[in-house]
């Protein structure tokens, strides 16, 4: 009977894909990066938004150097938060709308690994450019070299947390009307610790204090988010599909 | 074998169906018909493991399965309402990505052949956004033909397909049943499946 053959075929992918975390991460990462590169205009808009928001403050407030240097880290961090928020609604919504999310949830690869790949792609396309641009933009605020280095390091540790936490919010608000405004309300309070420790690290550097405490806390937050967020986001995706 | 025991579904307070029982054996197809809003898609999503039944049980290979069961995920090919295509990617890239997502690596030649079979060979390098609805459906057919999965779950598979496409689908499902596969399809239009291998239920 053909059934035996079919059953053997049926079970082959289970053994091949069971616990296969890396292929899932790789699939989602490669696909989302490719999609992002196909719509480069969108990426450019997000980055320009970041650059413009940061550049508005010196124009709107004061050209006074000390004041700008005090404000700088906070402004750069808030702008990074907003830039992250700008791109988050699309993290799952596009896949949800065209049916890809169902196929993702039904893939033999663990949903958590696919979600992780998507989050990593989101950070590489929106978070990393922010980190790279920050030192350039920091010059507008006459921040000194040491502050700029600390700022970059803090953003490097903090922006992945923004993507990871944001993924939970993006998955929770899937399919809701006014989902993206709700996402902002839901996620911005969760970003507060990242903002405090991130901007605090730069302040500590400017005051000549050690930055180790703030940076360590950001790193710890990142580790917790890496471990926890993919599970929470995957659970939220499953709920959204039900 | 796919079995449903006393399956019930509701959306909000409205009861879609309850006490639904059926069994689909290897080599057979189940065609689900019924007016709009009677729960065809809901039933298919339950069978695919995307939704939790409000009551009752689904068994696959005689074992009860929960939503997102890994065994079910590795056994089904689900073709939902939306064709799961990315406008930015070409037909070929879409197909490759969907197969890779299902954990199956197909060679570029196999993908080219499958696209030729569904008469999209000359369109393989076009972005999906310029393809017609019927052509997008045909990419889904090519995907089904390349996925070695015993259970096909097809939601309105002939929507937007022309006569040739509908015949193609019927032949593919018939061949799949011949190999000992199973299929569950929700449809309004007749699918032209072999009668002796097909059962149908109507949701009310």
Residue B169 lies in a domain: yes
pLDDT of the residue at A179: 80
**What is the least distance, in Å, from the CA of A143 to any CA of chain B?**
41
Count of CB atoms situated within 10 Å of the CB of A134: 25
Count of CB atoms situated within 10 Å of the CB of A194: 27
Contact yes or no for A242 and B50 at CB 8 A: yes
Mutation to test the B interface, candidates A2, A6, A35, A235, most B Cβ within 10 Å:
A6
Cα–Cα distance measured from residue B40 to residue B155, given in angstroms and rounded to the nearest whole number: 8
In chain B, the number of structural domains is: 1
What does the pLDDT look like over A46-104, one tens digit per residue? 999 999 999 999 899 888 888 998 899 999 999 999 999 999 998 999 999 999 999 99
- ipTM of the predicted structure? 0.93
Of A16, A31, A108, the CB nearest to B73: A108
Check which CATH number belongs to the domain holding B65 and give it. Answer: 3.40.50.300
The pair of structure tokens assigned to A149 is: 């280095």
pLDDT confidence bin for A5, thresholds 50/70/90: very low
Chain B residue with CA closest to A39: the answer is: B88
Give the domain range for residue B44.
2-75+150-203
pLDDT of the residue at B10: 87
Cα–Cα distance measured from residue B193 to residue A176, given in angstroms and rounded to the nearest whole number: 39
pLDDT of the residue at B143: 93
pLDDT of the residue at A18: 54
Please give the average per-residue pLDDT across A2-9, as a whole number: 41
A216-223: long-range contacts, CB 8 A cutoff, minimum separation 24: A218/A154, A218/A157, A218/A158, A218/A161, A218/A194, A219/A157, A221/A157, A221/A158, A221/A161, A221/A193, A221/A194, A221/A197, A222/A157, A222/A158, A222/A160, A222/A161, A222/A164
pLDDT confidence bin for A193, thresholds 50/70/90: very high
Number of inter-chain CB pairs under 8 A, A vs B? 111
3-state SS of chain B: helix, strand, coil percent to 5? Answer: 35, 30, 35
Which residue ranges make up each domain of chain A? 22-241
| DSSP annotation of B77 | E
Walk across the sheet containing B14-24 and list its strands: B14-24, B2-11, B55-60, B63-64
Give phi and psi for A37, each to the nearest 5: -70, -25
What does the pLDDT look like over B170-201, one tens digit per residue? 999 999 999 999 999 999 888 888 888 999 89
Contact yes or no for B74 and A9 at CB 8 A: no
Tell me the percentage of chain A whose pLDDT exceeds 90: 73
A39 touches chain B (CB under 8 A): yes
What does the pLDDT look like over A107-148, one tens digit per residue? 999 999 999 999 999 999 999 999 999 999 999 898 999 999
What pairing do the DSSP bridges indicate for beta strands B151-155 and B55-60? unpaired
Please say if the pLDDT value at position A210 is more than 90.
no
Place of tokens 């958590």: A112
- pTM here is 0.90
Residue B18 lies in a domain: yes
Enumerate the H helices of chain B as residue ranges.
40-48, 70-73, 91-101, 108-117, 133-146, 163-178
Identify all chain A residues contacting B86, using CB atoms and an 8 Å cutoff. 35, 98, 100
B67 touches chain A (CB under 8 A): yes
pLDDT confidence bin for B105, thresholds 50/70/90: confident
Contact yes or no for B86 and A35 at CB 8 A: yes
**What is the least distance, in Å, from the CA of B14 to any CA of chain A?**
16
| DSSP annotation of A239 | H
- A positions 58-97 inside 8 Å of B (CB): 97
Answer for the pair B128, B136: CB distance below 8 angstroms, yes or no.
yes
B83 touches chain A (CB under 8 A): yes
A23 touches chain B (CB under 8 A): yes
A100 touches chain B (CB under 8 A): yes
Mutation to test the A interface, candidates B130, B150, B177, B182, most A Cβ within 10 Å:
B150
């Amino acid at each position: 009977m053909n059934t035996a053959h079919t059953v053997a075929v049926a079970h082959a992918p289970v053994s091949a894909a069971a616990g296969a975390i890396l292929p899932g991460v790789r699939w989602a990462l490669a696909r989302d990066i490719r999609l992002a590169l196909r719509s480069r205009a969108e990426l450019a808009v997000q980055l320009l938004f970041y650059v413009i928001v940061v550049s508005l403050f010196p124009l709107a407030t004061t050209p006074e150097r000390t004041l700008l240097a005090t404000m700088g880290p906070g402004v750069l961090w808030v702008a990074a938060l907003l830039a992250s928020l700008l791109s988050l609604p699309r993290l799952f919504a596009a896949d949800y709308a065209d049916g890809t999310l169902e196929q993702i949830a039904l893939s033999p690869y663990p949903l958590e690994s696919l979600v992780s790949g998507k989050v990593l792609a989101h950070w590489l396309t929106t978070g990393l450019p922010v980190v790279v641009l920050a030192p350039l933009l920091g010059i507008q605020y006459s921040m000194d070299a040491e502050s700029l280095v600390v700022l970059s390091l803090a953003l490097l540790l903090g922006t992945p947390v923004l993507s990871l936490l944001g993924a939970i919010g993006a998955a929770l608000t899937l399919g809701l009307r006014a989902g993206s405004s709700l996402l902002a309300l839901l996620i911005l309070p969760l970003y507060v610790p990242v903002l405090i420790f991130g901007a605090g690290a730069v302040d500590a550097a400017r005051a000549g204090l050690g930055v180790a405490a703030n940076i360590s806390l950001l790193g710890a937050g990142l580790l917790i988010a890496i471990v926890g967020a993919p599970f929470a986001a995957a659970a939220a995706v499953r709920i959204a599909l039900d | 074998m796919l079995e449903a025991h006393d399956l019930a579904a509701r959306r909000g307070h409205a009861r879609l169906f309850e006490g639904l029982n059926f069994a689909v054996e290897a080599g057979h197809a189940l065609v689900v018909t019924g007016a709009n809003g009677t729960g065809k898609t809901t039933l298919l999503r339950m069978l695919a493991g995307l939704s939790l039944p409000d009551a009752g049980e689904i068994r696959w290979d005689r074992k009860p399965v929960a939503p997102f069961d890994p065994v079910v995920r590795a056994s089904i090919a689900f073709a939902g309402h939306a064709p799961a295509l990315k406008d930015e990617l070409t037909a070929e890239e879409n197909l490759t990505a969907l197969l890779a997502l299902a954990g199956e690596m197909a060679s570029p030649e196999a993908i080219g052949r499958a696209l030729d079979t569904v008469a999209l060979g000359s369109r393989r390098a076009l972005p999906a956004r310029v393809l017609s609805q019927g052509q997008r459906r045909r990419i889904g057919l090519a995907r089904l033909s390349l996925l070695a999965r015993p259970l096909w779950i097809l939601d309105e598979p002939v929507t937007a397909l022309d006569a040739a496409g509908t015949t193609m689908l019927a032949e593919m499902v018939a061949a799949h049943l011949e190999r000992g596969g199973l299929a569950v399809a929700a449809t309004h239009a007749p699918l032209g499946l072999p009668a002796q291998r097909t059962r149908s239920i109507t949701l009310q």
